[in-house]
Chains A and B, each alone.
Chain A
Amino acid sequence: MSTNVVVTGLGATTPLGGDVASTWKAALAGESGARTLDNDWAEKYGIGVNFAAQIKVKPEEVLARPEMKKMDPSAQYAIIATREAWADAGSPDVDPTRLGAVVSSGIGGIWTTLDGWDTLRERGGRRVLPMTVPMLMPNSPAAYVELEIGAQAGAHALVSACASGAEAIGYAVDMIRLGRADVVVAGGTEACLHPMPLAAFAASRTLSQRNDNPAGASRPYDQDRDGFVMAEGAGIVVLESEEHAKARGAKIYAQVSGVGLSSDAYHLTSPEPTGRGQIAAMTMSLKNAGVDLSDVHHVNAHATSTTVGDLIEARAVRTLFGDNADQIKLSATKSLTGHLLGGAGALETIFTVLAVHDRVAPPTINVDNPDPELTLDLVRDTPRELPRGDIAALNNSFGFGGHNVALVVRNA
Chain B
Amino acid sequence: MAYTEQEVLAGLAEIVAEETGLAVETVTADKSFVDDLDIDSLSIMTIVTHAEDKFEVTIPDEAAKDFNTVGDAVNFIVGAQG
Contact = CB atoms under 8 A, between A and B. Distances in A.
B42 interface: yes
A67 B42 contact: no
B19 A66 contact: yes
B20 A127 contact: no
Contacts of B45: 130
A194 interface: no
Interface string B65-79: 000000000000000
Size category of the B interface is 10 to 19
A285 to B, nearest CB: 42
Contacts of A69: 18-19
B49 A66 contact: no
Interface string B11-45: 00000001111000000000000000000001001
B42 A130 contact: yes
B14 to A, nearest CB: 13
A65 interface: yes
Size category of the A interface is 10 to 19
B49 A67 contact: no
Contact of A127 (B21, B42, B49): B49
A126 B49 contact: yes
A67 B21 contact: yes
Interface string A119-162: 00000001111110010000000000000000000000000000
B21 A126 contact: no
Contacts of A65: 18, 21
Contacts of A67: 21
B62 interface: no
Nearest to A69: B19
Interface in A231-262: none
A130 B49 contact: yes
A128 B45 CA distance: 11
Max chain B CB contacts within 10 Å: which of A64, A66, A127, A128?
A66
A129 B53 CA distance: 11
A66 B21 contact: yes
B42 A131 contact: yes
Contacts of B49: 126-130
Contacts of A64: 21
Contacts of A126: 49, 52, 58
Max chain B CB contacts within 10 Å: which of A127, A130, A131?
A130
A130 B46 CA distance: 6
Interface string A310-323: 00000000000000
A303 to B, nearest CB: 43
A134 B42 CA distance: 10
Contacts of A131: 42, 46
Interface string A94-138: 000000000000000000000000000000001111110010000
B47 to A, nearest CB: 10
Interface string A54-71: 000000000011110100
A128 B42 CA distance: 13
A130 B42 CA distance: 6
Contact of A66 (B20, B52, B58): B20
A126 B56 CA distance: 12
Nearest to B41: A130
13 contacts: A65-B18, A66-B20, A69-B18, A69-B19, A126-B49, A127-B49, A127-B52, A129-B46, A129-B49, A130-B42, A130-B46, A130-B49, A131-B42
Interface of B: 18-21, 42, 45-46, 49, 52-53, 58
